Amino acid sequence: MSLQRDMEEIGLKARTAARKVARLGTGKKNDALIKMAELLIAKADYLKAENAKDLDVAKDNGISSAMLNRLTLSDKVINGMAEGLREVAALPDPVGEVTGIKKRPNGLQVGRMRIPLGVIGIIYESRPNVTADAAGLCLKSGNAVILRGGSEAIHSNLAVASVLNEAAKAVGIPEGAIQVVSTTERGAIEELLKLEESIDVIIPRGGEGLIRFVVEKSKIPVIKHYKGVCHVYIDGAADEDKAVAIAVNAKVQRPGVCNSMETLLVDKAIAGSFLPKVYEKYKEAGVEVRGCVETKKILSDIEDAVETDWGEEFLELILAVKVVDGMEEAIAHIEKYGSLHTESIITEDYTQAKHFVEGVNSSTVMVNASTRFSDGFELGLGAEIGISTTKLHAFGPMGLESLTTEKFIVYGEGQIRE
Amino acid sequence: MSLQRDMEEIGLKARTAARKVARLGTGKKNDALIKMAELLIAKADYLKAENAKDLDVAKDNGISSAMLNRLTLSDKVINGMAEGLREVAALPDPVGEVTGIKKRPNGLQVGRMRIPLGVIGIIYESRPNVTADAAGLCLKSGNAVILRGGSEAIHSNLAVASVLNEAAKAVGIPEGAIQVVSTTERGAIEELLKLEESIDVIIPRGGEGLIRFVVEKSKIPVIKHYKGVCHVYIDGAADEDKAVAIAVNAKVQRPGVCNSMETLLVDKAIAGSFLPKVYEKYKEAGVEVRGCVETKKILSDIEDAVETDWGEEFLELILAVKVVDGMEEAIAHIEKYGSLHTESIITEDYTQAKHFVEGVNSSTVMVNASTRFSDGFELGLGAEIGISTTKLHAFGPMGLESLTTEKFIVYGEGQIRE
**B130-174: per-residue pLDDT in tens?**
999 999 999 999 999 999 999 999 999 999 999 999 999 999 999
Q: What is the DSSP letter of A222?
A: B
B80 and B159 part of one domain: yes
pLDDT at A321 over 70: yes
The three-class DSSP label of residue B185 is coil
pLDDT 10s digits, A63-85: 888 889 989 999 999 999 999 99
Question: Which residues on adjacent β-strands are paired with residue B178?
Answer: B145
| Domain containing residue A312: CATH number | 3.40.309.10
B73 and B204 part of one domain: yes
Contacts of B115 in chain A (CB under 8 A): 361, 391
B174 and B206 part of one domain: yes
Cβ atoms within 10 Å of A240's Cβ, excluding its own: 14
pLDDT 10s digits, A380-413: 999 899 999 999 999 999 999 999 999 999 999 9
CA separation for the pair A145, A403 (Å, rounded): 11
A213 and A306 part of one domain: no
DSSP H or E stretch at residue B203: strand B201-205
B184 and B77 part of one domain: yes
Domain that holds residue A329: 230-378
Domain membership flag for residue B385:
no
Residue A102 pLDDT level (bands cut at 50, 70, 90): very high
A334 and A405 part of one domain: no
Determine the residue of chain B that is closest to A100 in CA distance.
B380
Angle separating helix axes B129-140 and B26-42, nearest 10 degrees: 160
B215 and B243 part of one domain: no
The three-class DSSP label of residue A369 is strand
pLDDT 10s digits, A158-175: 999 999 999 999 999 999
Amino acid found at B36: M
Q: CA distances (Å), B102 to each of A361, B4, B98, B107, B410, in order?
A: 20, 47, 11, 9, 10
Question: Which residue among B215, B368, B397 places its CB closest to the CB of A413?
Answer: B368
pLDDT at A111 over 70: yes
B220 and B236 part of one domain: no
Contacts of A213 in chain B (CB under 8 A): none
CA separation for the pair A297, B216 (Å, rounded): 53
Contact A10, A179 (CB under 8 A): yes
Strand ordering across the sheet containing A230-234 = A303-304, A288-291, A318-324, A261-267, A230-234, A342-346, A364-369, B404-415, B109-116, B98-103
Cβ atoms within 10 Å of B280's Cβ, excluding its own: 12
Query: Between β-strands B98-103 and A98-103, what pairing exists: parallel, antiparallel or unpaired?
Result: unpaired
CA separation for the pair A244, A366 (Å, rounded): 16
B170 and B193 part of one domain: yes
Measured in degrees and rounded to the nearest 5, phi and psi for residue B315 equal 60, 20
Q: What is the DSSP letter of A287?
A: P
Contacts of B358 in chain A (CB under 8 A): 23, 96, 113
Contacts of B216 in chain A (CB under 8 A): 219
Domain membership flag for residue B211:
yes
B186 and B246 part of one domain: no
Question: Which residue among B104, B110, B366 places its CB closest to the CB of A410?
Answer: B366
Domain membership flag for residue B416:
no
Query: Between β-strands A109-116 and A404-415, what pairing exists: parallel, antiparallel or unpaired?
Result: antiparallel
* Cβ within 8 Å, pair B416-A253: yes
CA separation for the pair A345, A325 (Å, rounded): 15
CA separation for the pair B120, B211 (Å, rounded): 16
Q: CA distances (Å), B314 to each of B54, B296, B320, B341, in order?
A: 29, 20, 9, 15
pLDDT 10s digits, A205-253: 988 889 989 988 998 999 988 889 999 999 999 999 999 999 999 999 9
Number of domains in chain A: 2
pLDDT at A1 over 80: no
Contacts of A359 in chain B (CB under 8 A): 23
A vs B: CB pairs below 8 A: 207
A297 and A333 part of one domain: yes
* DSSP state letters, B102-134: EE-TTS-EEEEEEEE-SEEEEEE-S-THHHHHH
Residue A214: name the closest of A198, A197, A190, A195 by CA.
A190
Domain membership flag for residue B155:
yes
Measured in degrees and rounded to the nearest 5, phi and psi for residue B232 equal -115, 130
B194 and B247 part of one domain: no
Substitution target from A112, A381, A417 for chain B, most B beta carbons within 10 A:
A417
Contacts of B397 in chain A (CB under 8 A): 408
* Cβ within 8 Å, pair A242-B414: yes
| Domain containing residue B17: CATH number | 3.40.605.10
Domain membership flag for residue A416:
no
* Cβ within 8 Å, pair B395-A405: yes
CA separation for the pair A30, A87 (Å, rounded): 10
* Cβ within 8 Å, pair B407-A359: no
Residue A373 pLDDT level (bands cut at 50, 70, 90): very high
Residue A220: name the closest of A239, A241, A240, A204 by CA.
A204
pLDDT at B115: 98
Average pLDDT for runs of 10 along chain B of length 418: 91 96 97 98 98 96 88 96 96 96 97 98 91 97 97 96 98 97 91 95 90 90 90 98 98 95 98 98 98 97 97 96 98 96 98 97 97 96 91 95 97 97
CA separation for the pair B172, A123 (Å, rounded): 46
Residue B7: name the closest of B185, B195, B137 by CA.
B195
Region A331-346 average pLDDT: 97
Question: Which residue among A102, A249, A391 places its CB closest to the CB of B380?
Answer: A102
Domain membership flag for residue B387:
no
Domain membership flag for residue B346:
yes
CA separation for the pair A331, B232 (Å, rounded): 53
CA separation for the pair A314, A260 (Å, rounded): 10
Determine the residue of chain B that is closest to A115 in CA distance.
B361
Angle separating helix axes A129-140 and A75-90, nearest 10 degrees: 10
Contacts of A102 in chain B (CB under 8 A): 380
The three-class DSSP label of residue A364 is strand
* Cβ within 8 Å, pair B369-A201: no
Substitution target from B395, B408, B413, B418 for chain A, most A beta carbons within 10 A:
B408
* Cβ within 8 Å, pair A396-B408: yes
Measured in Å, how far apart are chain A's first and last C-alpha atoms?
56
Amino acid found at B413: E
Amino acid found at B176: G
Domain membership flag for residue B342:
yes
